[in-house]
Amino acid sequence: MIRRILTVFAISLLTSSACAPEPEHFDVLIRGGTVYDGAGSPGEVADVGIRADTVTAVGDLQGSTAESVIDATGLAVAPGFINMLSWATQSLIVDGRSQGDIRQGVTLEVFGEGASMGPMNDSMKVEFLEDFEDLVESPDEVERLLGGTEVPWTTLGEYLEFLAAKGISTNVASFLGATTARIHELGYADRAPDDEERARMETLVHTAMQEGALGIGSSLIYAPAFYADTDELTALSRVAGEYGGMYISHMRSEGNRLLEAIDELITIAREADVPA
């Protein structure tokens, strides 16, 4: 029988002590659950004390008190799960509670495999509005959700700030989509960028990384993403690497050219000096 999972919002889990600590007062105290710390060790029964949004104690917290006490006897207690390939970019605008993921234990949504919610130029904003109108019931609902009739962000960082200001249950992070940078400068053209276009694409990467992007994400099995060659992806990833960013990819092939696709990913990582 599958256990129900009780997910703890946590920055870290602290190692339990062999001796019971002095009684403390917490905001939330989770008692008696089987704690899995995410490092692969077997679970062990322990209490978890939380202050604000941080786990501050794990172990035998007998005698401690809290504003809210949760009996987790017979349940699993774990750090929140990470959805590394999230497409909740629009659904979180519609309903920031994200119950579909939260109730499965997901507490971090990572966007940007190939496409990201910024940067957007004017034509990209028109495309977004057309897609978004298909998701909601009426133009009035679009206006209510976006706070107006126009897309209220341009850069990736502005989109993330927009989500946070609306209020969302999950944490969010994003890569800059290599396809998004390409469409921003070349549209859907099947050609390599010229020197000026590539320079502008690299500037977009600088901006996104300064705003907190995780790195560059590509999805090379789809058009117009597969119009980008290895050199183009390497150049963008190299800029991301200046900020400690990484490169992720839905590779160019999952079939008879799989090994070539793997070689390309390794080449990009090596030439750009980034993890992948």
- Please check whether residues 148 and 42 belong to one and the same domain: no
- Please check whether residues 51 and 166 belong to one and the same domain: no
Looking at per-residue confidence, does 67 or 22 come out higher? 67
Burial of 46 (0-12, 13-18, 19+ CB in 10 A): buried
pLDDT tens-digit series, residues 123-170: 999 999 999 999 998 999 999 999 999 999 999 999 999 999 999 999
State the Cα–Cα distance between residues 48 and 59, nearest whole angstrom.
7
Q: Which residues make beta-bridge pairs with 255?
A: none
The pLDDT of residue 38: 85
Q: The tokens 């495999």 sit on which residue?
A: 113
Which of the four pLDDT bands, split at 50, 70 and 90, describes residue 22? confident
Token digits for 233? 């992806």
- Please check whether residues 151 and 237 belong to one and the same domain: yes
Say if residue 105's pLDDT is above 80: yes
The pLDDT of residue 158: 99
**Which residue type occupies 211?**
E
Mean pLDDT rounded to a whole number for the chain = 92
The DSSP H or E segment spanning 237 is helix 230-241
- Please check whether residues 66 and 13 belong to one and the same domain: yes
- Name the E strands within 38-182: 44-51, 54-59, 65-71, 76-79, 81-83, 106-111, 171-174, 176-177
- Please check whether residues 59 and 98 belong to one and the same domain: no
Say if residue 17's pLDDT is above 80: no
- Please check whether residues 69 and 136 belong to one and the same domain: no
Say if residue 78's pLDDT is above 90: yes
Q: What is the mean pLDDT of residues 267-275?
A: 99
Domain with 12, as residue range(s), is 5-79
- Please check whether residues 140 and 11 belong to one and the same domain: no
The pLDDT of residue 23: 86
CATH for 73: 2.30.40.10
| Winning range, highest mean pLDDT, from 15-19, 35-39, 77-81, 242-246 | 242-246
The pLDDT of residue 21: 60
The pLDDT of residue 20: 53
Say if residue 172's pLDDT is above 70: yes
- Please check whether residues 140 and 69 belong to one and the same domain: no
Token digits for 96? 């920031």
- Please check whether residues 88 and 74 belong to one and the same domain: no
**Which residue type occupies 80?**
G
Domain boundary among 53, 79, 105: 79
pLDDT tens-digit series, residues 180-233: 999 999 999 999 999 999 999 999 999 999 999 999 999 999 999 999 999 999
Domain boundary among 79, 95, 127: 79
State the Cα–Cα distance between residues 15 and 56, nearest whole angstrom.
10
CB 101 within 8 A of CB 7: no
pLDDT tens-digit series, residues 50-75: 999 899 999 999 999 999 999 999 99
* Domain tally, the chain: 2
- Please check whether residues 43 and 140 belong to one and the same domain: no
CB 236 within 8 A of CB 216: yes
The set of residues, in sequence order, having a beta carbon less than 8 Å from that of 91 and lying 6+ positions away, is 98, 135
Q: What is the mean pLDDT of residues 246-250?
A: 98
- Please check whether residues 127 and 157 belong to one and the same domain: yes
Q: What is the mean pLDDT of residues 241-262?
A: 98
CATH for 180: 3.20.20.140
- Please check whether residues 135 and 265 belong to one and the same domain: yes
Q: Among 119, 124, 112, which Cα is nearest to 216's?
A: 112
Domain boundary among 54, 79, 104: 79
